[in-house]
Amino acid sequence: MKRVLVKSVHGAFGYVMEHYYPFGMADEAAEQGALTDTYVVISIQDSHTNGFGMQFTENQFCKGVLTLLFDDIVKEVDGAVLFDDEMADKIIDFIAEKKRVADTLLVHCYAGQSRSRAVGAFAVEMLGGDNSRYFEEGTPNQYVYDVLETAWIRRQLGTF
């Protein structure tokens, strides 16, 4: 993967639609630069609504989708789903499996500010990059980031 993009659900939809073109218009779309990369998606959706009512699917540009339902919380709350080790493992497995398959990792949640920023920051670190801008330019959900970090360290030590 060459880059990690963190978006709101609306921004993620816009990014995906940049890859769309009507039948018979592939040449025109390519000339406008719409067909320049492939991507995979980590779609973080809210549990209290059982998602946003939309799902990303694989196609010629989208090479994989991981959808997780958890809420933007940092401790147990009745009626909400707290991010956990199982979800962290799914994210780590997905990034490891897809890192050579696509140009872009697209991570989104509802607002693109907390949960997705934490996952994006972790993904950049896991892929060997500098994730400091994610912390300087916003407020990642520290709990989500810490669970991912702990899972990653546990794997590196072989204690999972």
Give me the number of domains the chain comprises. Answer: 1
Residue with structure tokens 């360290």? 153
Can you give the pLDDT at residue 160? 54
Averaged pLDDT for residues 15-23: 86
- Could you list the residue range(s) of the whole structural domain that residue 134 is in? 3-157
Nearest to 62 by CA among 98, 111, 92: 98
Averaged pLDDT for residues 45-50: 93
Can you give the pLDDT at residue 59? 93
Classify residue 140 by its DSSP letter: -
Q: Is the pLDDT of residue 159 over 90?
A: no
Can you give the pLDDT at residue 35? 63
The predicted-structure confidence for 59-92, as pLDDT tens digits, reads as follows 999 999 999 999 999 999 999 999 999 999 999 9
CATH of the domain at 129: 3.90.190
